[in-house]
Amino acid sequence: MTLDFGILLQDENLPLLLQGLWVTIRMTFLALILSCFIGLVIGLGSMSKYKWISSLCATYLAWFRGTPLLVQLMLLYYGLAISLNIDLTASLAGVLGLGMYSGAYVSEIVRGAIQSIDRGQMEAGRSLGLSHWQTMFKVILPQAIRRMLPPLANEFIALTKNSSLLSVITVAELMRAANTIVADNYKYFEIYLTIAVFYFVVNYGISVLIRLLERKLNVEGVRS
């Protein structure tokens, strides 16, 4: 067997892959923001003293964690368009799908980190006359965010990898770019190995960034 990486330089293959990579990064980044937002809302909501809010959040978690991302993407993109005439663009469906799916996992990270903060912190804030939410945002969350970072790194890496599923709903991201090229020249090994390296580099970047962030936050306030 011979491997021919020269194939990358033919037929505009490399620019095509880099374009796909850019789409992957963009989609992942947007989905990541959405996922953090949903995660925070659902995570805080799941601890609400109002039963209807916490049940709603529990249902969200159960659904989006309990069904395959691929199925959710199909429902969002093809299902909504064909049955309900809600025609989302592939990119929008992709970001929404990834973000909502990942948001379920992030909500559990948020909840776990908040609950790991000593109860005395909330009591101290409340005894100083701060409201529940003032204490949450000024006292509890700044401490909880530090504890969220390591599991968030895992989740964001998973999110990047899961973005390859967007190829199925026609988003021209890295995986789809590879599929297109391979359909043409059958250079499976070369092309898929190349995108594997691309994914790896992105994910390695995420893990380094989060490690840096962890270190920065730890210097500011000495660990508890």
Partner 1 sequence: MIEITNLDKYYGSHHVLKDINLTIGQGEVVVIIGPSGSGKSTLLRCMNYLEPIQSGQISIENQPIGMIEQNGKHKEMPENQLNKMREKVGMVFQNFNLFPHLSVRENITLSPLTLGKMNKKTANETASTLLAKVGLSDRADAYPDQLSGGQKQRVAIARALAMKPHVMLFDEPTSALDPELIGEVLDAMKELAREGMTMVVVTHEMGFAKDMADRVVVMDQGQIIEVDKPDVIFQNPSQERTKTFLHKVLTHT
> Is the CB of 73 or the CB of 114 nearer to partner 1?
114
Q: How far is the CB of 121 from partner 1 (least distance, A)?
A: 6
Give Cα 97 to chain centroid, integer Å.
10
- Contact at 8 Å (CB) between 100 and 88? no
Q: Minimum distance between the CB of residue 116 and partner 1, rounded to whole angstroms?
A: 13
- Please report, as a single letter, which amino acid is at residue 13: N
Measured distance CA(161)–CA(156) in Å, rounded: 9
Residues 8, 190: Cα–Cα separation, whole Å:
8
Smallest separation (angstroms) from partner 1 to the CB of 217: 8
- Residue type for 142, please? P
Nearer to partner 1, 65 or 132 (CB): 132
Q: Name the CA radius of gyration of the chain, rounded.
A: 21
Q: Which is nearer to partner 1, 89 or 131 (CB)?
A: 131
Rank residues 182 and 217 by Cβ distance to partner 1 and give the closer one.
217
CA angle 210, 213, 219 (to 5 degrees): 145
Token pair 């970072």: residue: 149
Rounded Cα distance between 204 and 187, Å, is: 26
What minimum distance in Å lies between the beta carbon of 98 and partner 1? Answer: 31
- For partner 1, the closer of residues 6 and 221 by Cβ is 221
> Which residues have C-beta within 8 Å of that of residue 165, sequence separation ≥ 6?
69, 70, 73, 175
Nearer to partner 1, 140 or 175 (CB): 140
CB of 124 to partner 1, least distance (A): 4
Residue 141 CB, nearest distance to partner 1 (Å)?
10
Q: How far is the CB of 140 from partner 1 (least distance, A)?
A: 10
Q: Report yes or no: 205 and 160 within 8 Å, Cβ to Cβ.
A: no
C-beta closer to partner 1: residue 12 or 118: 118
Which chain residues interact with partner 1 by CB under 8 A? 118, 120-121, 123-132, 134, 138-139, 142-143, 146, 220-224
The residue with tokens 């109860």 is 119
**Side-chain half-sphere exposure of 21, counting CA atoms within 13 A:** 18
